[in-house]
Amino acid sequence: MATADLGSAEWERSKISAQDINLLKKMGFSKKENSLRFPKEDSYPRPPIDYRVSFIDHLIRGLSPPIHEFLRGLLFVYGLQLHQLTPNSILHVSIFITLCECFLGVQPNWALWKRIFCLRRNGSHNVAYNIGGVVICVRSDVEYFDVKFPDSVQGWRKKWLYIHEESSNPVEDNIAPFDGEAKILRRRSWDAEATEAEKLATEALMTRIHDLQNTRGKELSGIEITAYFLRIRVQPLQARKNPLWKYAGEKDVDRLSKDLPLKDFEKLIRKISSLNKKDPIPSSCRIAPYSGANPLPENHPVLTSLPPLPEGGEVEDRTVVDDDNQNTSRPESEVAGSHKSAASSEKEAESEATASTHSLLKVHGAPMCGFGCNKKKLMKDIKCQVCLEDEDEVSPQVTSRHQHDEE
């Protein structure tokens, strides 16, 4: 059966609450006049000139205009619009940039990114989402930080708004204008791997990432990285004057706001993670991040590797390899077997037990099914840990391309 592309039918009137607006104010998004605009009765985005479409759940996970050039490059080389990335995919990019700048001491590195991440389509068994239609995943053979994504990001597609993207750079250097009709096409870049030369150049960084996760008593976690950038009030996905290793404290020029009240900070961490009220929120990182107070060592190596940018022209990796709106392989689903659209119910559970979780399971010794598992491997007595956690949302009638709920 062909997969139906929801396209513009997925959009509906934005439902941003007073509580959402208050959170954005506390986080500093209203500091600049007209930096945000809230749609009124529009049931379909019509952003003003120099504005782009984003979501509350993107902003609270590290996004802020003008957009960081690393994210601009990712959107270009992957052939995506900003609204086509899920909230947890945005968080993946925020954590990666923070990891590079604060704990590796390098600019976000495209070669390193390709060694860790790939992209997958997101949808139900017969519906291809356009909003949040693509998921950034950790490669199955990579040991990466346990980010503790929430099991569900509910209603995020219904909380869209306009962000001001104009920057000091030429307009053509900004991310592409909103196009709600743009189809998601799988491109060669989605699975592009680092070249042998890139692997050699980034081997020390991969070793450092392993050490950061496994040094006894000083293990760094994904939650600690997330809590760090939210605590210092610098948005990783914003084009900034300085890299995070030059963070200068309360007077830093890139800070979006003053410190969040502790209660709001802890509530925000729990909102974007799977931590519950009984789980402690890290107050610091076990390994001191690089900053103005903890500068990079002398003769620290400088590595520069950005993804292709629009101003550089077309690149081979942007070649379309498949029309992903029409293929029949199983994408990451919202609720397996569900026929309702992503915007059909206020109570729908838009799950984000991502493929990256699978790559982490092998670290903890839990059984895995992986992306290519079949029905026999999903019998209840040997069902993988993610399947067990999402049992109510995963249909027992699983196809040969079983992939777990994203959003």
Distance from C-alpha of 348 to C-alpha of 334, rounded to nearest angstrom: 9
User: What residues contact 7, with CB distance under 8 A and at least 6 apart?
Assistant: 130, 180, 181, 183
Summarised one tens digit per residue, pLDDT across range 19-32 is 999 999 999 998 87
Domain ranges in the chain? 4-335
Query: What local confidence, expressed as pLDDT, does residue 407 receive?
Result: 53
Query: What local confidence, expressed as pLDDT, does residue 333 receive?
Result: 32
92 and 117 in contact (C-beta within 8 Å)?
yes
Burial class for 10, CB neighbours closer than 10 Å (0-12, 13-18, 19+): buried
Residues of the chain with pLDDT under 50: 1, 324-406
Distance from C-alpha of 254 to C-alpha of 240, rounded to nearest angstrom: 6
Query: What local confidence, expressed as pLDDT, does residue 127 receive?
Result: 75
Whole-model pTM: value is: 0.79
161 and 16 in contact (C-beta within 8 Å)?
yes
Summarised one tens digit per residue, pLDDT across range 186-225 is 999 999 999 999 999 999 999 999 999 998 888 999 999 9
Query: What local confidence, expressed as pLDDT, does residue 7 receive?
Result: 59
Distance from C-alpha of 9 to C-alpha of 89, rounded to nearest angstrom: 23
